[in-house]
């Protein structure tokens, strides 16, 4: 019997949401490719986040910085020294584990008593050692230590080192924010749970610059606002969302206070987004390492200071897995699987089906398709029975089935079939566009 996450993985492959990277070569661990439906869903989610951050907040601007940056940035940020996971190796079967998976107090564990979960051997583990998660590469044609660079493990640093340029160009006054969506890379020791923890992923981060004394209030407001995003914009089940506050031992090297928003995945409660008070840690370190004055000039009070930073940091791929987990529904009564995606998120908004392949029905269906295709992502489907066509789209999360039948030729009406309750209405062709538009805004 497959568990839910395995069922989601198999649906994602079958319907073209997500594929294992390099599939024909046997796969490449912890990297995934997004198929035709996956890329639409991912774009829909990231556009909602971008809209929520940069359109709805006049004081938040966007940025797109490079994945490769000056290597000193990672010294200054503390990632070269402190961005480590503790790892242990089984000497018998060579399996590798994060030591903190066995116990948060892994330093005081007696490793001779621990059994390897893979081969069952005892007294087989190496001592825990720190493993840096950054991917190293060389820039330019010569490989030596002077050419070393890193693939960024977070997008945040690109914002910090550009913050005064963006602030000056846009004449931003504190408090203000800078938002960025982009790839990040981490050489995770173990990657599991599908796209939850991968070595290449996308982050959606927003850094909010405030007066030092305004940090607690800003953190509180952003916690509220980010939670609302999941319930209102993504329409997720609120009972599956919660906050988790980091204890002292859990805090990242840059954080004074940190909260995770967690979701109850089929494999348990896990983090989807972090909201952090990073204080002036990053700006102070970049000021020290670059030798440049990074203070903000407050014209109203005629003084200079290093702003504090409240960060909201979400993983786009994890958010997508959250949306998939939240919408997966086995409709046992009707023997079908449905992705109950909000129409706003659905990769395809409607399937347009001629009931049969003759009597002018395909032509009429094409007319509707051509009328609407510049507004919404639609598919045209005339293959197989109408029931099979609908069930295919139920798995893809398509909210509406628009069917052209013989009556459509006579009176310009179609049937609309609703994905979740399978009810049907007859509506005029002119009502199809407002129906889809309203569902995106209102449901």
Binding site for ligand GAP (CB under 6 A): 154, 156, 186, 188, 197-198, 201, 203, 205, 271-274, 311, 313-315, 317-318
For the CB of residue 381, give the shortest distance to ligand GAP in the complex, in Å: 34
For the CB of residue 183, give the shortest distance to ligand GAP in the complex, in Å: 11
Nearer to ligand GAP, 28 or 111 (CB): 28
Nearer to ligand GAP, 180 or 413 (CB): 180
Nearer to ligand GAP, 40 or 311 (CB): 311
Backbone angles phi, psi at 32, to 5 degrees: -130, 150
Nearer to ligand GAP, 20 or 431 (CB): 20
Nearer to ligand GAP, 181 or 432 (CB): 181
Which DSSP string corresponds to 180-192? EEEEEE---S---
For the CB of residue 329, give the shortest distance to ligand GAP in the complex, in Å: 24
- Measure Cα distances from 38 to 74, 321, 323, 348, 409 in Å: 32, 10, 11, 11, 35
For the CB of residue 204, give the shortest distance to ligand GAP in the complex, in Å: 9
Q: How far apart are CA 182 and CA 312, in angstroms?
A: 14
Nearer to ligand GAP, 318 or 349 (CB): 318
Bridge-partner residues for 159, per DSSP? none
Burial class (CB in 10 A: 0-12, 13-18, 19+), 338: buried
**Residue closest to 155 by CA, chosen among 79, 92, 101:** 79
Nearer to ligand GAP, 275 or 378 (CB): 275
Closest-CB residue for ligand GAP? 315
For the CB of residue 304, give the shortest distance to ligand GAP in the complex, in Å: 26
Cα maximum dimension of the chain: 80
Nearer to ligand GAP, 311 or 405 (CB): 311
H-only helix segments in 359-402:
361-372, 386-396
For the CB of residue 273, give the shortest distance to ligand GAP in the complex, in Å: 5
Which DSSP string corresponds to 44-90? HHHHHHHIIIIIS-TTEEEE---SB--THHHHHHTHHHH-EEEEEEB
For the CB of residue 43, give the shortest distance to ligand GAP in the complex, in Å: 18
Backbone angles phi, psi at 271, to 5 degrees: -70, 135
For the CB of residue 122, give the shortest distance to ligand GAP in the complex, in Å: 30
Q: How far apart are CA 392 and CA 14, in angstroms?
A: 10
Q: How far apart are CA 307 and CA 296, in angstroms?
A: 7
268 touches 242 (CB < 8 A): no
């Amino acid at each position: 019997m497959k568990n839910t996450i395995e069922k989601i993985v198999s649906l994602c492959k079958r319907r073209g949401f997500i594929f294992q990277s390099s599939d024909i070569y046997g796969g490449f661990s912890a990297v995934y490719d997004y198929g035709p439906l996956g890329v639409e869903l991912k774009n829909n989610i990231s556009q909602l986040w971008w809209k929520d951050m940069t359109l709805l907040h006049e004081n938040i601007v966007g940025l797109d910085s490079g994945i490769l940056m000056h290597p000193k940035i990672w010294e200054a940020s503390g990632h070269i020294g402190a961005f480590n996971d503790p790892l242990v190796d089984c000497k018998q079967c060579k399996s590798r584990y994060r030591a903190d998976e066995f116990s948060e107090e892994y330093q005081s564990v007696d490793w001779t008593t621990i059994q390897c979960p893979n081969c069952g051997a005892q007294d087989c583990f190496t001592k825990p050692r720190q493993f840096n998660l950054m991917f190293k590469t060389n820039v330019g044609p010569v490989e030596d230590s002077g050419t070393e660079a890193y693939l960024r493990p977070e997008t945040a640093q690109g914002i910090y080192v550009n913050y005064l340029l963006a602030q000056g160009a846009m004449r931003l006054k504190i408090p203000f924010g800078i938002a960025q969506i982009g790839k990040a890379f981490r050489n995770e020791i173990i990657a599991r749970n599908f796209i939850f923890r991968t070595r290449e992923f996308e982050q959606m981060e927003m850094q909010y610059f405030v007066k030092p004394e305004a940090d607690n209030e800003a953190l509180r407001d952003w916690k509220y606002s980010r939670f609302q995003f999941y319930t209102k914009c993504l329409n997720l089940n609120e009972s599956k969302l919660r906050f988790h506050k980091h204890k002292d031992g859990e805090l990242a090297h840059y954080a004074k206070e940190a909260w995770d928003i967690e979701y109850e995945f089929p494999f348990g409660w896990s983090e989807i987004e972090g909201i952090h008070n990073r204080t002036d840690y990053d700006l102070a370190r970049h000021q020290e390492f670059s030798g440049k004055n990074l203070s903000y000039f407050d014209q109203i009070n005629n003084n200079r200071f290093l702003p504090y930073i409240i960060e909201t940091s979400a993983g786009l791929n994890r958010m997508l897995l959250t949306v998939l987990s939240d919408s997966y529904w086995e409709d046992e009564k009707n023997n079908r699987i449905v992705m109950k995606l909000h129409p706003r998120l659905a990769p395809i908004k409607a399937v347009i089906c001629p009931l049969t392949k003759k009597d002018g029905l395909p032509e009429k269906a094409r007319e509707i398709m051509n009328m609407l295709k510049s507004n919404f992502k639609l598919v045209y489907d005339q293959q197989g029975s109408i029931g099979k066509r609908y069930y295919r789209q139920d798995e893809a999360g398509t909210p509406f089935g628009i069917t052209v039948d013989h009556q459509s030729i006579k009176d310009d009406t179609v049937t609309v079939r609703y994905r979740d309750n399978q009810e049907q209405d007859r509506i005029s062709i002119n009502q199809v566009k407002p129906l889809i538009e309203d569902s995106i805004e209102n449901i």
